Amino acid sequence: MTEQDKKPGLAPASTAAATTGKAEAAPVAATSAAATSPTGSPAAAATSPVESPTAAATSPTGSPAAAATSPATGSPLGEPTANPQDAIIDAEDDEDYPDDIDSALGDGQSTYTTSLASSVFNYPVEFGRRYHAYQHGRYTRPNDEQEMDRLLIIHNMVTLATGELFLAPIDMEKPQRVLDIGTGNGVWAVEVADNYPNAFVLGNDLSANMPNFVPPNVKFEVDDVESDWVYEEKFTFIFSRYMAASILDWPLLIQRTYENLEPGGWAEFQDFDIHYYSEDDTLKSNDPLAIWIKSMGDAAAAIGRDPQPGYKLKGWFENQGFTNIFHRKYKLPIGTWPKDPKLKQTGLHNFMQINQGLEGLSMRLYINVMKWTHEQATVMLAEVRRRLHNPNIHAMMDYHVVYGQKPLN
């Protein structure tokens, strides 16, 4: 902890929503606005009608407060809900596309606080990419502009897929004290602060990558969430997203989350299972794309970072003692192969973030963990990129949203 947050006087989360669930998603057609906006604003996604777990279907960044006052029409809280995304995703008819030629898709497609010395900002550069300095080596991906752009694409992708900034049934009209674990570029924290002026949002990260010009109700700090948490005040909502392959001890992170929540407060964790598969066997296990993602997962696991926390989140929440637990899985296609327009957009975002992230996701793991040479890694990644561009490969990955409430007593 580098500097503690001191924002007094915020009330605990509303417990009125405790028995409120989320309505099931109603698939609706999407526009292709985001297709022309690789790093487009969430607003672009917000104007696309999307499948949404709440009535706020046309507003991915819309008010969960509205949802909080809407009676659930889905499964009772605590039960995994039936998921429209469990249906097999239909692919468009295969294009007349030889497997060994590159795709026509092409590549077109703060205020923060720290009491630490400038060493926090002394970012090392390796393999042409910039990495975090605080707790050097703890995290394997870069913190440079290219990576922050990739995180923005992911933000747009998952808010498009889920339809919301978060799904927990919190009354955001009331004051809330929110913590965003591993905030990255801070876009989630800023949007929550912007949308909900009664909330105070604190985002932390190993790197100080957050923007300087932010709403007055957001604050960032450099911190290691795997060190002791020493907040003077508890939170009413703690959010964590995309910490796959980052965290050494997930149950401990969830325990700390629980301990730092007010009674009645909510935690929501959204995360990937970093594993690619296809439902029509177009992604073979010996495909370079499949080999690459498996080797990245194995390398992350070898240094103790679970690459597939998504499907385990619900069990960890249960073991910790959270109540009113909700779980939903989203299948995220990779590429523009799905017929469904919204899934096509989601897949485009996914394609772009992987295409942009290949080197950043891989280099430290290939070179520092797997002991490959830079040249070996570069050759492999060229082949992976070629396969990524092949629209006849209908790859996808899973994304999980889990939220739960700390009991009132």
Ligand X SMILES: C[S@@+](CC[C@H](N)C(=O)[O-])C[C@H]1O[C@@H](n2cnc3c(N)ncnc32)[C@H](O)[C@@H]1O
Question: Of these, 138, 234, 294, 312, which contacts ligand X (CB under 6 A)?
Answer: 138
Q: Which two tokens stand for residue 374?
A: 């830079």
The least CB distance from residue 137 to ligand X, in Å, is 11
CB of 15 to ligand X, least distance (A): 27
Q: Is 241 in the site for ligand X (CB under 6 A)?
A: yes
**Does residue 132 touch ligand X according to CB under 6 A?**
yes
- Burial zone of 1 (CB within 10 Å; 0-12 exposed, 13-18 middle, 19+ buried): middle
CA atoms within 13 A on the CB side of 390: 19
Among 34, 50, 59, 155, binds ligand X (CB under 6 A): 155
> Does 225 contact ligand X by CB under 6 A?
yes
Tokens at residue 318, please?
Answer: 């249960």
Coil vs helix vs strand at 264: strand
Residues 48, 162, 246, 362: which binds ligand X (CB under 6 A)?
Answer: 246
DSSP conformational letter for 33:
G
Report the distance separating Cα 399 and Cα 42, nearest Å: 19
Q: Which is nearer to ligand X, 139 or 200 (CB)?
A: 139
Assess 400 for contact with ligand X (CB under 6 A): no
Q: Between residue 10 and residue 69, which ones bind ligand X under the rule CB under 6 A?
A: none
Contacts of 217 (CB under 8 A, 6+ apart): 193, 197, 199, 200, 201
Q: Which stretch binds ligand X (CB under 6 A): 71-79, 221-229, 257-265, 357-365?
A: 221-229
Alpha carbon distance 220, 151 (integer Å):
17
Strand partners, 400: 271, 329
H or E element: which one contains 37?
A: none
Residue nearest to ligand X (CB): 184
In the complex, what is the shortest distance from the CB of residue 188 to ligand X, in angstroms, rounded to a whole number?
Answer: 6
Distance (Å, rounded) from C-alpha 240 to C-alpha 268? 6
Task: Select 14 or 183, whichever has its Cβ closest to ligand X.
Answer: 183
The residue (of 20 and 204) whose beta carbon lies closer to ligand X is: 204
Interacting residues of 327 by C-beta distance below 8 A, sequence separation 6+: 80, 81, 313, 314, 400, 401, 402
- Tell me if 327 contacts ligand X by CB under 6 A: no
Least Cβ distance, residue 227 to ligand X (angstroms): 8
Helix (H, G, I), strand (E, B) or coil at 61: coil
For residue 172, state whether it binds ligand X (rule: CB under 6 A).
no
Beta bridge partners of 270: 241, 401
Nearer residue to ligand X within complex by CB, 226 or 383? 226
| Piece of 4-12, 35-43, 74-82, 131-139 that binds ligand X (CB under 6 A) | 131-139
Q: Is 237 in the site for ligand X (CB under 6 A)?
A: no
Q: How far apart are CA 269 and CA 396, in angstroms?
A: 20
DSSP designation for 71: P
Binding range to ligand X, per CB under 6 A, among 36-44, 104-112, 204-212, 397-405: 204-212
Question: Which of 65, 342, 296 is closest to 196 using CA atoms?
Answer: 65
Distances (CA, A) of 213 to 56, 105, 110: 28, 35, 6
Cα–Cα distance between 289 and 395 in angstroms, integer?
9
For position 226 contacting ligand X by CB under 6 A, the verdict is yes
Nearer to ligand X, 14 or 240 (CB): 240
**According to CB under 6 A, which one of 182, 264, 297, 307 is a site residue for ligand X?**
182
**3 near ligand X (CB under 6 A):** no
Instruction: Find the shortest distance in angstroms from Cβ 187 to ligand X.
Output: 7
Number of shown-chain residues binding ligand X (CB under 6 A): 22
**Is residue 242 close enough to count as binding ligand X by CB under 6 A?**
yes
Contact residues: ligand X, CB under 6 A: 132, 138-139, 151, 154-155, 182-184, 188, 204-207, 223-226, 241-243, 246
